[in-house]
């Protein structure tokens, strides 16, 4: 099989290349998936640069998210649940940047007819993240006022639509007028720019009370997020795209009766039942057009270096897919 690999850390154009490898050998509880679409994420860039932990020896294969057709099933896989020829998606399976991927059966999510393989690869990781952030980390309900950092990004757009779907109000934060317009088009009630005095603008908007919850994905802005959180409110920390957050003094939390909680998708997707329950609701929202997915951009798997560069340059507001 062909796979996109690298042997050393560095720039995409210098280290990523295609290589012929032996197909993965599946175990009794695995399935072998021929990928039709693979999601590209910033975590892939971090790993390529040596900033994230890697397991095994080179050549390394990036990728954790994708969708395709089941070609083989292990001897103990229930064929009533997963069968050869079925389309499945996955959000947390390593070595996805390849024509063939070994997927543990509990991580293989059957796709309904109305969800294409490209759609699944474009939405599963970010969609399931937005799902648990609004269902578990903080339970959004009618009347919730939420601030969404990086509102025009992949997770930000989905968060915005899910919060609105659940009856909340969205105040978005982003870096440009162009991105602010995108956020408004997908339902954000108010959008402010990072270059402006956004903390004061949000406090003025809320009559100095603050908001119920801030979805903090920048990291370095976390203290400002607490400034705009009301007494008894919550900051959900789930990313640090802008750098490490400062240390938090518990006294500050006590004085404002505020909550700081973390969020990690892998602590939520702990069983096949959880994956099916959450993806079913996500797919249902998409099928009923209650949420929409930004148009994705396709690159051939062999163009992986170009795709990495495109993502690093932040040229797209939609998902980037690799097509074998």
* Type and span of the H or E element at 131: helix 117-132
pLDDT for res 318: 82
Q: Is the pLDDT of residue 316 over 80?
A: no
Q: Is the pLDDT of residue 122 over 90?
A: yes
Could you give the CA distance from residue 117 to residue 67 in angstroms, rounded to a whole number?
Answer: 5
pLDDT for res 287: 95
pLDDT for res 265: 87
pLDDT for res 190: 98
Site of tokens 């903390």 = 199
Contacts of 301 (CB under 8 A, 6+ apart): 2, 4, 18, 38, 97, 99, 322, 323, 324
pLDDT for res 68: 98
Domain ranges of the chain: 2-124+293-323, 142-262
Give mean pLDDT, residues 293-319.
90
Banded pLDDT at 241 (limits 50, 70, 90): confident
Could you give the CA distance from residue 78 to residue 68 in angstroms, rounded to a whole number?
Answer: 19
Q: Comparing C-alpha atoms, which of 229, 218, 217 is closest to residue 259?
A: 229
pLDDT for res 18: 98
Could you give the CA distance from residue 63 to residue 270 in angstroms, rounded to a whole number?
Answer: 20
pLDDT for res 317: 72
Q: Is the pLDDT of residue 104 over 90?
A: yes
List, for residues 135-177, the tens digit of each pLDDT value: 999 999 999 999 999 999 999 999 999 999 999 999 999 999 9
Task: Tell me the pLDDT of the chain averaged across its residues.
Answer: 95
pLDDT for res 165: 97
List, for residues 86-97, the tens digit of each pLDDT value: 999 999 999 999
pLDDT for res 152: 92
pLDDT for res 15: 97
Give 130-168 as a 3 state SS string: HHHHHHHHCCCCCCCEEEECCCCCHHHHHHHHHHHHCCC
The residue among 98 and 55 whose pLDDT is bigger is: 98
pLDDT for res 43: 87
State which fold the 142-262 domain adopts. Answer: Rossmann fold (3.40.50)
Q: Is the pLDDT of residue 248 over 80?
A: yes
pLDDT for res 244: 82
Q: Is the pLDDT of residue 308 over 90?
A: yes
Q: Is the pLDDT of residue 240 over 90?
A: no
pLDDT for res 161: 98
Q: Is the bond preceding residue 59 a cis peptide, omega within 30 degrees?
A: yes
Q: Is the pLDDT of residue 48 over 80?
A: yes
pLDDT for res 56: 82
Q: Is the pLDDT of residue 53 over 80?
A: no
* Type and span of the H or E element at 234: strand 229-237
State which fold the 2-124+293-323 domain adopts. Answer: Quinone Oxidoreductase; Chain A, domain 1 (3.90.180)
Q: Is the pLDDT of residue 228 over 90?
A: yes
Banded pLDDT at 310 (limits 50, 70, 90): very high
Instruction: Decide if 2-124+293-323 and 142-262 have a common fold.
Output: no
Sheet holding 190-193, edge to edge: 190-193, 169-174, 145-148, 211-216, 229-237, 259-262
């Amino acid at each position: 099989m062909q796979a996109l690999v690298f042997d050393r850390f560095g720039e995409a154009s210098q280290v990523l290349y295609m290589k012929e490898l032996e197909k993965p050998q599946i175990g009794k509880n695995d399935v072998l998936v021929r990928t039709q679409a693979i999601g590209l994420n910033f975590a892939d860039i971090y790993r390529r640069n040596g900033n994230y932990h890697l397991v095994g020896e080179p050549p390394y294969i990036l990728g954790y998210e994708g969708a395709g057709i089941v070609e083989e099933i292990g001897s103990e896989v229930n064929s009533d649940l997963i069968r050869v020829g079925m389309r499945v998606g996955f959000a947390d399976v390593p070595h996805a940047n390849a024509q063939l991927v070994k997927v543990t059966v509990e991580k293989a999510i059957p796709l309904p007819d109305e969800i294409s393989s490209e759609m699944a690869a474009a939405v599963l990781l970010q969609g399931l993240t937005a799902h648990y952030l609004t269902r578990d980390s903080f339970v959004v309900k009618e009347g919730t006022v939420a601030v969404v950092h990086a509102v025009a990004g992949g997770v930000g757009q989905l968060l915005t639509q899910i919060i609105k779907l659940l009856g909340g109000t969205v105040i978005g934060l982003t870096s440009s007028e162009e991105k602010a317009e995108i956020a408004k088009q997908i339902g954000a009630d108010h959008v402010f720019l990072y270059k402006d005095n956004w903390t004061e603008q949000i406090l003025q908007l809320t009559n100095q009370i603050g908001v119920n919850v801030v979805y903090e994905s920048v990291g370095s802005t976390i203290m400002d997020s607490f400034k705009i959180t009301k007494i008894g409110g919550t900051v959900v920390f789930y990313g640090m795209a802008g750098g490490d957050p400062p240390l938090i003094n518990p006294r500050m939390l006590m004085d404002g009766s505020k909550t700081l909680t973390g969020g990690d998708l892998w602590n939520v997707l702990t069983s096949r039942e959880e994956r099916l329950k959450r993806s079913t609701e996500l797919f249902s929202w998409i099928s009923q057009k209650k949420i929409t997915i930004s148009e994705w951009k396709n690159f051939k798997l062999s163009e992986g270096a170009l795709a990495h560069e495109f993502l690093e340059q932040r040229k797209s507001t939609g998902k980037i897919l690799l097509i074998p």
